Amino acid sequence: MPRVENVRCRSVLDKSFFRYLKDKRNVALVSIALALGLLLIAVGSVGDGEPVAEEGIEERLAAVCSGVEGVGECEVLVYRSSDGAEVLSVIVVCEGADSVEVRHRLTTLVASFFGIGTNRVVVAPGTAE
């Protein structure tokens, strides 16, 4: 049986890329390009929604949030995709949200209410009007 040796290979692209990065100006250009790419991804995923009220869902969720210990009155705004099928983000403004524990409870509650990630929920302290 032939013996197989462990061989480390680098493609020509890898070598030329690292040579390219040896110049500090090029590192700055690559960093700027990477930052712009990440910014475009972030902006593209945020701008798709608009507030679309489902029959009483915001009021029901505000009532549920108000029932959480340490929470006063709440106001809820739900952003959905333009076709209304997907919840993109939820904003909750309520009394008592200046507490980290209360914000965590509300974020978890709202995320599980809609079946979305906690990164799509913003809970802010304030007075609901």
pTM over 0.75: no
> pLDDT tens digit string along 104-116?
999 999 999 999 9
Instruction: Specify the number of domains making up the chain.
Output: 2
d(CA 94, CA 126): 5
CB atoms within 10 A of CB 90: 23
Do 67 and 110 reside in the same domain of the chain? yes
> pLDDT tens digit string along 75-112?
999 998 888 888 999 999 999 999 999 999 999 999 99
Q: What's the alpha-carbon Rg for the chain, to the nearest Å?
A: 24
Domain holding 101, by residue range, is 49-125
Place of tokens 């910014």: 39
> pLDDT tens digit string along 11-65?
545 566 666 667 767 677 667 777 766 666 655 555 455 555 566 899 999 999 9
Residue 33 within a domain: yes
Do 30 and 59 reside in the same domain of the chain? no
- 68 contacts 109 by C-beta, under 8 angstroms: yes
Do 39 and 60 reside in the same domain of the chain? no
Do 57 and 111 reside in the same domain of the chain? yes
Helix or strand run (H / E) with residue 93: strand 87-94
Do 62 and 112 reside in the same domain of the chain? yes
Do 16 and 66 reside in the same domain of the chain? no
Place of tokens 């890329």: 17
Give phi and psi for 2, each to the nearest 5: -70, 145
Do 65 and 78 reside in the same domain of the chain? yes
Do 66 and 21 reside in the same domain of the chain? no
